[in-house]
């Protein structure tokens, strides 16, 4: 959108400058509002390397979670009650995005073959 786009020559009929300016102002206000929701919030990166079973329920707010299968076998994950097979060498990423954060209890890992699972997340 080009602000001040005229339908004809001169500043006569068809000038939509006020409409376009107000739309750009609204978009700017929305962007500022979205960015101020997380300003001043400290976030801490975490890394867990595990060969066992467990979940991330000790963490009540997760902003992103990544699971990386660092082994040759398949690792079973349960995300929000849904089973997911994580093949060898594959990374599975979850970013909270506009939801702002996940509950850690939603992420469970079942490592039956004691394979190497690397979990990175931000709290």
Task: Yes or no: say if 103 and 81 are a contact pair by the CB < 8 Å rule.
Answer: no
pLDDT along the chain (123 residues), means of 10: 54 66 80 63 84 85 88 85 89 80 82 82 87
pLDDT of residue 36: 57
CB 3 within 8 A of CB 21: yes
Residue 3's pLDDT is: 55
Query: 0.75 exceeded by the pTM?
Result: no
Tell me phi and psi for residue 44, to 5 degrees: -120, 125
Q: In what order do the strands lie in the sheet with 91-95?
A: 45-50, 117-122, 64-69, 91-95
pLDDT at 90: 92
């Amino acid at each position: 959108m080009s602000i001040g786009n005229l339908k004809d020559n001169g500043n006569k009929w068809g000038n939509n400058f006020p409409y376009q300016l107000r739309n750009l102002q609204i978009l700017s206000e929305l962007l500022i509002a979205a960015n101020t929701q997380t300003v001043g919030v400290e976030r801490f990166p975490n890394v867990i390397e595990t060969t066992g079973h467990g979940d991330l329920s000790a963490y009540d707010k997760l902003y992103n979670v990544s699971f990386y299968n660092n082994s040759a076998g398949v690792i079973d994950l349960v995300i929000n009650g849904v089973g997911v097979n994580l093949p060898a060498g594959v990374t599975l990423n979850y970013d909270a995005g506009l939801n702002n954060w996940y509950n850690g209890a939603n992420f469970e890992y079942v490592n039956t073959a004691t394979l190497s699972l690397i979990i990175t997340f931000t709290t």
